[in-house]
Amino acid sequence: MKKNVKFILGIILGLSLGSVGVFAANIASRDVSYENKVSNVNNVQEAIEELYILSQNKTFLLENGFRYTGENPNNYVFFNNELWRIIGFLDNKIKIIRSDSIGRYAWNTILSNDWETSSLYHYLNTTYYNSLESVSKNMVENATWRTGAWGNNDITSSQIYDQEGITKATGSNTLTATGYIGLMNISDYGYASSRCYATNSLNTYHEFQCASTNWLYAGIEEKTLTASSQQEIYSFVIYANGYVSSGNGDSNNVATPYEVRPALYLKTAVKIKSGSGTKKDPYLLEM
């Protein structure tokens, strides 16, 4: 049974860190500062787990993964000498996304929404991946990505997450793809809105209460990994006002360039060296 667990944003004053030492037992640990508190954690996953326990003024969501949700959680991380953000602990790995776009690219230069044969998959996993500085490149997991699909935007976050695992894209023969670099799924975007993830369909995400409580909303037109299960020429896109579309006219087909924010999974050996996760003091990583 799925669990819906949320904590209202804030730090519990006076909470003893000794009560959460189970996360760091019998391991070599690092000191990480959480707003004037110092804790011992071994890796990024444990840092998020401990923040989940310590926090009341950050929102965390335990549903189909361990996710950040809300307007602006402290999930910034310095990766590849750039600001990235932690989507959460998904599929037993930490998933992060670049804070800013790397530019406008077509999802595919031909009208097919098979991710593993697409031009963007090829670009991200060759040219872009090879451009990462060597230390960061070594932190990236060659992961399995959920490449399932759905046909419309009248669906909630949890419902489309399920479909991403059981419904093939129209042009694809598989539900997964292996690679170093990908994009966020549309379910990631849905879950990032603390106000709307539980009950609202994605076709309402342009409304103020959804966009204003969604840290993944960037005010740009961008593509996601989730493709259409009805028409091979479409994949899900997020418009500048936060509206989610599964395909509507030639301007939304896979060959139309949109902004791209790469996403990736970190290896389990990646640790937090320092930082508090704010934009001014992002987490610093090390292997």
pLDDT tens, 234-273? 999 999 999 999 876 666 799 999 999 999 999 988 988 8
Residues recorded for the chain: 287
Q: What is the DSSP string of the chain?
A: -----B--EEE-TT--GGGGGGGGTTS--EEEEETTEEEEESSHHHHHHHHHHHEEES-EEESSSEEE-BSS-S-EEEETTEEEEEEEEETTEEEEEESS---EE-S-SSS---GGGSHHHHHIIIIIHHHS-HHHHTTB--EEEE--EES-S-S-HHHHHHHHHH---TT-S-SEEEESEE---HHHHHHTBTTTTTT--GGGTTSHHHHTTBTT--SS-EEEEEEESS-TTBEEEE-TTS-EES--SGGGBTTS-EE---EEEE-TT-EEEE--SSSSSPEEEE-
Answer yes or no: are the C-beta atoms of 61 and 69 closer than 8 Å: yes
| Band (112; pLDDT cuts 50, 70, 90) | very high
Answer yes or no: are the C-beta atoms of 21 and 41 closer than 8 Å: no
Q: Give the residue-averaged pLDDT of 153-162.
A: 94
Whether the predicted pLDDT of 26 surpasses 60: no
C-alpha 50/C-alpha 20 separation (Å) is 7
Give pTM, 2 decimals: 0.82
CA 190 to chain centre: 10
Q: Give the residue-averaged pLDDT of 195-209.
A: 94
Answer yes or no: are the C-beta atoms of 129 and 181 closer than 8 Å: yes
Computed over every residue of the chain, the mean pLDDT equals 82
Whether the predicted pLDDT of 37 surpasses 50: no
C-alpha 255/C-alpha 231 separation (Å) is 13
Whether the predicted pLDDT of 183 surpasses 90: yes
C-alpha 75/C-alpha 189 separation (Å) is 15
What residues form DSSP beta bridges with 283? Answer: 77
Whether the predicted pLDDT of 168 surpasses 90: yes
Whether the predicted pLDDT of 9 surpasses 80: no
